[in-house]
Amino acid sequence: MDKAYQNISYQKVNPPVQHWPKSPVSLTKETMDQRLNKVLRQMEEKGTDVLCVYADREHGGNFGYLTGFEPRFEEAVLVLHRDGKAFLMLGNESLRMGNYCRIKNTVIHVPHFSLPNQPMETEFTLRELFEKAGISQGMCIGIAGWKLFTSHKEDNAQLFEVPYMIVESIKSAVGKQGRVQNEGGLFISPDTGVRVLNNANEIAHFEYGAALASDCVLEALEQVETGKTELEIADFLAASGQPVNVQTICATGERFTNAEVAPRNKKIALGDTFSVTMGLRGGLTSRAGYIARCREDLPEKACDYMEKMAVPYFAAAAAWFETVGIGVTGGELYEIIERVLPKSEYGWVLNPGHLTSSEEWLSSPIERDSAICLKSGMMLQMDIIPKRAGYGGASAEDGIVIADEALRDEIRSKYPETWERMCRRRKYMAEELGIRLKEEILPMSDSTGYFRPYLLNKGYALKNMSCTSCTDFDIITS
């Protein structure tokens, strides 16, 4: 076994305690006011007259950041002026939400955003409706969808991921003397985006979703047995009616056959690969391993899965959790994963970690040579996806939040139940898994760091037997 992995041991480990958070934490008026003011300040700095924030059923995070809600069926646009005046452009079935919006607004009915064949009576063109929202000739308009374009071969400010009819209408309304550009980065830039840093209220709000997703996955893993079906296991991935932010996965054997991604009535068999993923607003938990109790249960071609995949992956995950912290650059974190789990050998393609929010993937400061420093208030997902021919996957994905002393004190005083859960998770990771977190790192979910490669051997998991990388850091226990 590679020298870098000799400190990883497969041994008896107490499973995580599931704390099951009792109820969601609502966002306060103070938080919503702070959000609006952060956006208005950036608009002032950028010289943006009006910001048009797009939303649909799947892409509503930036819109909801300011309004508090996202469309259930339709498209919507928030037209926000630099002076704070706001117009909500809503389709038929969202009109009522203007009364519940978290910022003062004027509603404009836009039947163009409604579902097919619903009543479309209007005397105004879409351009004229944007003009009713205060957009006029010569203005500088920012459009925020949900992407962050970073190509060096195109003018990123002129790439728009929102429907053509919206972009065309806005450009027509401002005319040739106006300027229209993509301003998604105002919200999600990993360095300067307003949504990247969270306050104590936002952290407690998002911890509910992260913790609930984690506990559902842990409960599902406890139910895994040969002969059961994916559907039977997926029954435990119930989220109290909370909205998921990714497709729920519960798959045994070969995944996605016949292009089916949802759980099926397929029976679990000894030696199968198995994966389960659930994401709620605030965090995602994912696990992948084998339906096995020991090496002898594995397919012959993958009998060395523990040495070739599971142990190296866990070593990288442990290194990620022990390295992440205030002042660490995204490039430094990337290079550590590259050293422990070389991309050329383990085939991971995406960033080894990213920011999370109401979306599972907000953006990522973690890439080669990134000079972006990790900061207090960032919520990050450990997300490393190794691939090696002939072997099943390895996954133990969960999230953390970075919190300096002042932010930790605020969480402790205002949200003591959230704080207590986070402290217990830190203690569990250190004592049971050998993963020592820096003092500013707070786990968002009960399963953080827990990886059981042989899913039927429920009393054993991987443990880091060396904490030399962070022995100077105390364990927060209360």
Same domain (yes/no): 148, 209: no
Which residues in 281-407 belong to E strands, given as ranges? Answer: 283-290, 354-355, 379-381, 395-397, 399-402
CATH of the domain at 112: 3.40.350.10
Burial class (CB in 10 A: 0-12, 13-18, 19+), 114: buried
DSSP 8-class letter at 50: E
Same domain (yes/no): 305, 423: yes
Which residues lie below 8 Å from residue 137, measured CB to CB, with a gap of 6+? 173, 174, 175, 177, 178
Same domain (yes/no): 236, 381: yes
Same domain (yes/no): 176, 206: no
Same domain (yes/no): 170, 245: no
Q: Rounded to whole angstroms, how far apart are CA atoms 423 and 419? A: 6
Query: What's residue 4's pLDDT?
Result: 57
Last residue of one domain, picked from the residues 129, 157, 182: 182
Same domain (yes/no): 213, 293: yes
Same domain (yes/no): 13, 122: no
Range of the domain at 154: 49-182
Same domain (yes/no): 280, 384: yes
pLDDT digits (tens, 9 = 90+) for 377-399: 999 999 999 999 999 999 999 99
Strand partners, 140: 179
What average pLDDT does range 397-409 have in this prediction? Answer: 98
Same domain (yes/no): 369, 453: yes
Residue 470: pLDDT over 70: no
The answer as to whether 132 is a domain residue is yes
Same domain (yes/no): 15, 67: no
Q: Rounded to whole angstroms, how far apart are CA atoms 333 and 371? A: 11
Q: Rounded to whole angstroms, how far apart are CA atoms 451 and 458? A: 11
Last residue of one domain, picked from the residues 161, 182, 203: 182
Query: What's residue 5's pLDDT?
Result: 81
Q: How confident is the model at residue 468 (pLDDT cuts 50, 70, 90)?
A: very low
What average pLDDT does range 143-162 have in this prediction? Answer: 91
Query: What's residue 467's pLDDT?
Result: 54
The answer as to whether 152 is a domain residue is yes
DSSP 8-class letter at 27: P
Same domain (yes/no): 162, 213: no
Query: What's residue 154's pLDDT?
Result: 81
Burial class (CB in 10 A: 0-12, 13-18, 19+), 107: middle
Q: How confident is the model at residue 257 (pLDDT cuts 50, 70, 90)?
A: confident
Same domain (yes/no): 14, 117: no
Query: What's residue 138's pLDDT?
Result: 98
* pTM score, whole prediction: 0.95
